Structure 1
């Protein structure tokens, strides 16, 4: 977006706060969450895993390195404004991603992420030189964060995943 367009949007009160990199609580609609959320703290209070924190601007975010999400839906059920939709909890768009700082990729024997993944979404492919490369199955990964909270190197992050469409092109 050019500077003129962003200034025009600002003056019209249409400032884009849609941050696609912040992990919002389960049930958050990326387009409507910031408009509906009042930062009331109900979602954080309701979270039994204590993984909902607040970012520097006071918006709720999920910190998966603090522990895994069980997708229980308590945060969405507690939301009084509809910013978190209990029916959308299972539509979690985040999937794990492993950085080059992974111990196994650097020759240190480590499989903690694989051991903590209940869904079997992480496997290791042996490489030369005693290294092993983690292979993530995005279709199997739920984005729960069990791998991230267990990783001793902090090498697991999360990125938005959009499943492929089943459209047939002619």
Structure 2
């Protein structure tokens, strides 16, 4: 069956969110491989576009579904990338856009709307840039600490930055 979130090139279109709180901490989700819970990582909220929704609509919907956070100021696209990774017995090929968003709503929960989310996400955490640089765990995108430091120091880029392709 074809992926309903795939674009014409076969890539799944995914809107991701760099959500910052008033202290400039970024919200990340803790996930794991359902078939091997010892394989864990941290990642940004977000997911595939559904139906005819826009990238921005998908970013807002995914953030609300995955974290319960709905009171956000959605900003510009910061970064774009293509990635490919194995997860839950299949390969995912994605065209991703990372949106900047800010919120005052720091309590969050991992309700997860889909069955896959419920069996592959264990929690949420607000991270400072310094904590990301010191992290020994895997974080996606892999250069998030450096990218966040640049964002906080220089502000959003005038046009989205194309990140290197990641393939796991």
TM-score by length of 2: 0.25
Larger proportion of helix: 1
Choose between structure 1 and 2 for higher RCO, CA contacts under 8 A separated by at least 6 residues.
2
Larger proportion of strand: 2
Task: State the structure with more CA Rg.
Answer: 1
